[in-house]
Amino acid sequence: MYDFAIIGGGIVGLSTGMALGKRYPHARILVLEKESKWAFHQTGNNSGVIHSGIYYKPGSFKAKFCRDGCRSMVEFCQEHGIDYEVCGKVIVATEEEELPRLENLYKRGLENGIEINRISPEEVKEIEPHVKCVGGIHVLSTGIVNYKQVCEKYAQIIAQQGGELRLNTKVEKIVTSSNTQVLETNNGTFEARFVINCAGLHSDRVAKLGKVDPQAKIVPFRGEYYELTPEKRYLVKGLIYPVPNPEFPFLGVHFTRMIDGSVHAGPNAVLSLKREGYNKTDFDLRDFAEVMTYAGFWKLAAKHADEGIKEIVRSLSKAAFTRSLQKLIPEVQAEDLVPTHAGVRAQALMNDGKLVDDFLILHGQNSVHVCNAPSPAATSSIEIGKAIVAQIPEQQHLETALV
Ligand SMILES: Cc1cc2nc3c(=O)[nH]c(=O)nc-3n(C[C@H](O)[C@H](O)[C@H](O)COP(=O)(O)OP(=O)(O)OC[C@H]3O[C@@H](n4cnc5c(N)ncnc54)[C@H](O)[C@@H]3O)c2cc1C
């Protein structure tokens, strides 16, 4: 009998395991991951940015966890010798009409307590000489890291704390009773007093297995990237972002210098026809049918048809992708870009067509379900893990074990 079983070995599941081990050093903790490696899905295919927390609605979980998480991620990397760099980033308006939105973003950043400066086009050029813009914000605390390395360390710490970690183990069924939950997997059956669902792209389905209605469905949005050829990396010093459309949770295609020195451009945000669909042609009938028969999707599509079509065009046409990037750096040419990895975002969508904006953590009987943990959940992971543990009712029997 385990005290806690965590479903999902992405950055949220692993950080929760680590936080649980700290809170209850004598607890029997189990982490189950269906893939053969940690961080196989969203976590291992993201932009590798340690976000500052400028974008998010003041008072939201995203705003709080990201600002605190940015700090705790940097401290974690320092403590454990993980490569990272606080390189800062610029957010730039490329047209006059974007300036009011840039100003709003600046005010929001100040409200969120982020270290930022409003900078002129000339000052932007001092930081990023190849950017053409009409105004910008310099965000000082933004950094870069490889989140796969962070996850490897989280997993190592869980093991050192006495936790049990199992790869290649997919939870297929949950049998709940008043005191225990039985997890049936492709790799044996496990019994736990408390279950934490951190299943990312499958979190809504796992919640249902645990008899919790997530009241939202995960809709997968693929983010495709190009990479600058090594000879053109000089065009980007750090991180260059456009002013985002406030109606969407995505930040717009941007340039990211990765911690290994390569420069990635993207990601776009195109509906994926498969939850774990990393290629344009990937298709899964169940995943596709669920989206197509979901009223929430059609309400979203009706409202944002133009944006959706633009994203599809940008996904299919390298020229269109290049044009988006040229708004930031006019010198970039299509031949400077080569396709690289893609990631799929797990974005919860409500029946009324609204995208769930904040992190969403729901409670069931002896269970907690993380039903929306999109960006900046990697940055925020240490804080999300701590918050989940704080939401779990005190486990008196484990306190006794401590005495
Ligand atoms: C393209 C892209 C770029 C991003 N950029 C950034 C960024 O720069 N900075 C940032 O902070 N955030 C970024 N994000 C967001 C961030 O990566 C995610 O919010 C975060 O990784 C979510 O972590 P997770 O553990 O919830 O999900 P995941 O990493 O997807 O992990 C969930 C795990 O659950 C497992 N699982 C699912 N079902 C089962 C089952 N039944 N049994 C067992 N295991 C199961 C899956 O295999 C998976 O490994 C980005 C995301 C994407 C997609």
| Residue pLDDT, tens place only, 271-303 | 999 999 999 999 999 999 999 999 999 999 999
Backbone angles phi, psi at 79, to 5 degrees: -65, -35
| Residue 245: per-residue pLDDT | 86
| Residue 401: per-residue pLDDT | 58
Instruction: Give the pLDDT band of residue 247 (cuts 50, 70, 90).
Output: confident
Q: How does the average pLDDT of the chain come out, rounded?
A: 96
Give me the mean pLDDT over the 66-80 stretch: 98
C-beta of 43 in contact with ligand 1 (< 6 A): yes
Tens-place pLDDT, residues 133-163: 999 999 999 999 999 999 999 999 999 999 9
Tens-place pLDDT, residues 192-205: 999 999 999 999 99
| Residue 126: per-residue pLDDT | 98
Residue whose CA lies nearest to ligand 1 atom number 33: 8
Atom of ligand 1 at shortest range from CA of 40: 49
Distance 381 CA to ligand 1 centre (A): 11
pTM for this predicted structure: 0.97
Q: 177 or 40: which carries more pLDDT confidence? A: 40
Residue whose CA lies nearest to ligand 1 atom number 53: 345
| Residue 246: per-residue pLDDT | 82
| Residue 397: per-residue pLDDT | 81
Question: Any residues with CB less than 8 A from the CB of 103 and at least 6 apart, and which?
Answer: none
The rounded distance, in Å, linking the Cα atoms of 385 and 403 is: 25
| Residue 398: per-residue pLDDT | 84
Q: 246 or 53: which carries more pLDDT confidence? A: 53
Q: Would you say 340 and 298 are in contact if contact means Cβ atoms under 8 Å apart?
A: no
C-beta of 34 in contact with ligand 1 (< 6 A): yes
Tens-place pLDDT, residues 357-395: 999 999 999 999 999 999 999 999 999 999 999 999 888
C-beta of 11 in contact with ligand 1 (< 6 A): yes
Distance 360 CA to ligand 1 centre (A): 14
Q: Is the pLDDT of residue 403 over 50?
A: no
Dihedral Cα 141, 144, 147, 148, nearest 10 deg? -160
Considering the chain, what percentage of its residues have pLDDT values greater than 90? Answer: 91
Give me the mean pLDDT over the 304-317 stretch: 88
Q: Would you say 235 and 331 are in contact if contact means Cβ atoms under 8 Å apart?
A: yes
C-beta of 72 in contact with ligand 1 (< 6 A): no
Distance 42 CA to ligand 1 centre (A): 3
Atom of ligand 1 at shortest range from CA of 38: 49
Q: Is the pLDDT of residue 102 over 50?
A: yes
Q: Is the pLDDT of residue 400 over 90?
A: no
| Residue 34: per-residue pLDDT | 98
CA distances from 170 to 31, 237, 347, 372, 390 (A): 11, 41, 21, 20, 27
- Strand bridging mode 164-166 / 29-32: parallel
Instruction: Give the pLDDT band of residue 59 (cuts 50, 70, 90).
Output: very high
Distance 11 CA to ligand 1 centre (A): 7
